[in-house]
Amino acid sequence: MDFDEAMFDACTPEKRHDLLMEARLLAGVFAPGGDGPALTRMAGQLSAGERDSEISRAQARLLAAALKRLARDAADG
């Protein structure tokens, strides 16, 4: 079980929408091709605690889950 994804799924639809929108913005800057492996690496860094001091640990993990969701969606076509 992926704890980050479980936290993401427990969010309200509005919160998930906001997280996915933020993840798309980040992906557009750091992985412009929407490359699944690049998104997964970004998610791993956020989940592992490699983040800016302006983002909380919980927010980083939720954003990581959103990036993983984008990566999975990219892989599914």
Domain boundaries, position 59: 3-76
Task: Encode burial over 32-53: b for 16+ CB neighbours within 10 A, e otherwise.
Answer: eeeebebbbebbeebbeeebee
Residue-level pLDDT at 52: 60
What pLDDT, on a 0 to 100 scale, did the predictor assign at position 22? 95
Number of structural domains in the chain? 1
Average pLDDT of the chain is: 86
Phi, psi of 56 (to 5 degrees): -75, 165
Whether residue 71 has pLDDT greater than 60? yes
Band of residue 20 on the pLDDT scale cut at 50, 70, 90: very high
The confidence band for 51, taking pLDDT boundaries of 50, 70 and 90, is: low
Percent of the chain's residues with pLDDT above 90: 38
